[in-house]
Amino acid sequence: MKRRIIRARALATEGRPLEDKLIVLSGKKIESILPATAAGRFDRRDFISSRSYLVFPGLVDIHCHGGGDLNTNTVAGLRAAAYFHASHGTTAMLLSIFFKSCDDLSKMAGLVKAARSLAPLHLLGLHLEGPYLNPVARGSIPSDCLCPVKLRDIPKIVQAGQGELKVITIAPELPQAERAISAFRKAGVIVALGHSMATVAQARAGADMGATLVTHLGNGMRPFHQREPGLIGAGLSEPRLAAEIIADGHHLAPETLSMFLRGKVGDMVLVSDCRWSGGSGEKPAVKEGAAYLADNTLAGGIYPAWKGLRTIASLPGMSIWDAVRLAARNPARVLKKRGLGRISVNGRADLVLAGPDLSVQRVFFGGQEIFRPISQPVKKL
Ligand SMILES: [Zn+2]
């Protein structure tokens, strides 16, 4: 099998970043990681470039509704949205959707199955944002995508998901929500708490029933109060809960972001919450770098996760290597996908090669180069 060799000025691995290395790719995998001084052992033609890059694992975005103004309700649209994200360094994503009906969920699960082998990233399945959410904290989610908990409907929702339903967001304070959390957990679905006015005690009760994640911490939830910190307080203090953050410069003030990250960097998960502008429901308008509904409700991000990685890396006290933990390793851990979000010998070669200014230069998915911005895309979609 033909080898390709990447020169790395620095690369993000599990522990500290490694400097001046060669990454040897063989097929879909990383065959070895060697010191740069071993370059003489190889044929010069095996090197992908004479340049040396900052090398990151492909990002894992677990909250993403689409992107690039593409409608994800068709296989072609979903594939194109996947390419938009892959070309910005995301090599694994969950597609987030609102709940319209079991039929719609079933259709979306079918779409993910059909698009999977065509997409230049791992389409990991679906994140269902609803329907058991608090109407007071629904944000931009249409009210007809919400409903009270009906326990007898849960098996139908799970079945409609056809094994593609990986994460569901639930407001833990709703009547019967605790039993719903437990039912989804038993069905193997990861439960996130969000779009919620939960008190800290209600959020903790959600964790008692098996919830392990908070959906976009600080957005779509009861504001923080010193004596009733709500879901924000639970997300920052409860060791059983990881927490998503949107770092697009709009959803969280930089000071809030710094405060959240100081709370528990090891359990924070960077997400894009990237929003498509097609599909049904009110079309959000893009202004000043985020999507908004007509009444000024913030309706998701417009940037891929890489933008958040750059934002986090620029915060005081944070490094790019902290940021990549939040954007790759932590989300993979939340989904229990051990092979993703890390660079290791014998691991998959899902890699982002960046310049010193953190611009994405080249992206490899399973050892295949899928993006190079200065020329035409290498892989034809
Ligand atoms: Zn949301």
CATH number where 16 lies: 2.30.40.10
Residue 279: predicted pLDDT: 43
In this predicted structure, what is the pLDDT of residue 376? 44
- Separation of CA 167 and ligand 1 centre (Å): 13
| Spatial separation of the C-alpha atoms in residues 126 and 167, rounded to whole Å | 7
What is the spatial distance between Cα 189 and Cα 272, in angstroms, rounded to a whole number? 21
Q: Is residue 124 part of a domain?
A: yes
Q: Do 183 and 304 share a structural domain?
A: yes
Q: Do 82 and 42 share a structural domain?
A: no
Could you tell me the distance, in angstroms and rounded to a whole number, from the CA of residue 87 to the centre of ligand 1?
Answer: 24
Pair 13, 22: CB distance under 8 Å = no
Cα of 41 from ligand 1 centre, angstroms: 51
Rounded to the nearest angstrom, the distance between the alpha carbon of 325 and the centre of ligand 1 is 22
Cα-to-centroid distance, 5 and ligand 1 (Å): 41
pLDDT of residue 317: 87
**Euclidean distance between CA atoms 191 and 242, whole angstroms:** 11
Looking at the domain assignment, is residue 296 inside a domain? yes
Distance from residue 23's CA to the centre of ligand 1 (Å): 38
Domain count, the chain: 2
Do residues 40 and 130 both lie within one domain?
Answer: no
Q: Which residues contact 203 (CB under 8 A, 6 or more apart)?
A: 172, 193, 196, 214, 230, 231, 233, 234, 235, 238, 241
129: CA distance to ligand 1 center in Å? 7
Half-sphere exposure of 361 (CA within 13 A, CB side): 16
Q: Give residue 128 CA to ligand 1 midpoint distance, Å.
A: 10
The answer to whether residues 146 and 268 belong to one domain is yes
In a shared domain, residues 323 and 269:
yes
Please indicate, yes or no, if residue 144 is contained in any of the structural domains: yes
- One domain for residues 52 and 91: no
Q: Are residues 104 and 93 in the same domain?
A: yes
- Ligand 1: distance of its center to the CA of 46 in Å? 45
Predicted confidence at residue 278, as pLDDT, reads 44
Q: How far is the CA of 39 from the centre of ligand 1 (A)?
A: 48
Q: What is the pLDDT of residue 262?
A: 85
Identify whether residues 114 and 225 lie together within a single domain.
Answer: yes
User: Ligand 1 center to residue 169 CA distance, Å?
Assistant: 9
Which helix or strand (DSSP H or E) is residue 307 part of?
Answer: helix 305-313
Same domain? 218 vs 317 = yes
Mind listing the pLDDT tens digit of every residue in the chain (381 residues)? 788 999 999 998 877 889 999 999 999 999 999 999 999 999 999 999 999 999 999 999 999 998 766 677 889 989 989 998 999 999 999 999 999 999 999 999 999 999 999 999 999 999 999 999 999 999 989 999 999 999 999 999 999 999 999 999 999 999 999 999 999 999 999 999 999 999 999 999 999 999 999 999 999 999 999 999 999 999 999 999 999 999 987 889 999 999 999 877 779 999 999 886 444 455 666 666 666 666 667 666 778 899 999 999 999 888 899 899 999 999 999 999 989 999 999 999 999 999 999 999 999 999 999 877 655 444 443
Residues 235 and 346 in one domain: no
Whether 200 and 308 share a structural domain = yes
User: Is 377 inside any structural domain?
Assistant: no
CA of 194 to the centre of ligand 1 (A): 8
Within 13 Å, how many C-alpha atoms sit on residue 325's CB side?
A: 16
Q: How far is the CA of 37 from the centre of ligand 1 (A)?
A: 48
Distance 302 CA to ligand 1 centre (A): 13
Q: How many whole angstroms from 146 Cα to the centroid of ligand 1?
A: 12
Task: Tell me if 18 is assigned to some domain.
Answer: yes
Does residue 376 lie in a domain region?
no
Question: Containing domain of residue 15, as a range?
Answer: 3-57+342-371
pTM for the whole structure: 0.93
CA 125 to chain centre: 12
Residue 332 contacts residue 60 (beta carbons within 8 Å): yes
Residues 110 and 42 in one domain: no
Q: Would you say residue 77 lies in a domain?
A: yes
Q: What is the CATH number of the domain that holds 256?
A: 3.20.20.140
Distance 64 CA to ligand 1 centre (A): 10
CA Rg value for the chain: 21
The H or E element that residue 169 is part of is strand 165-170
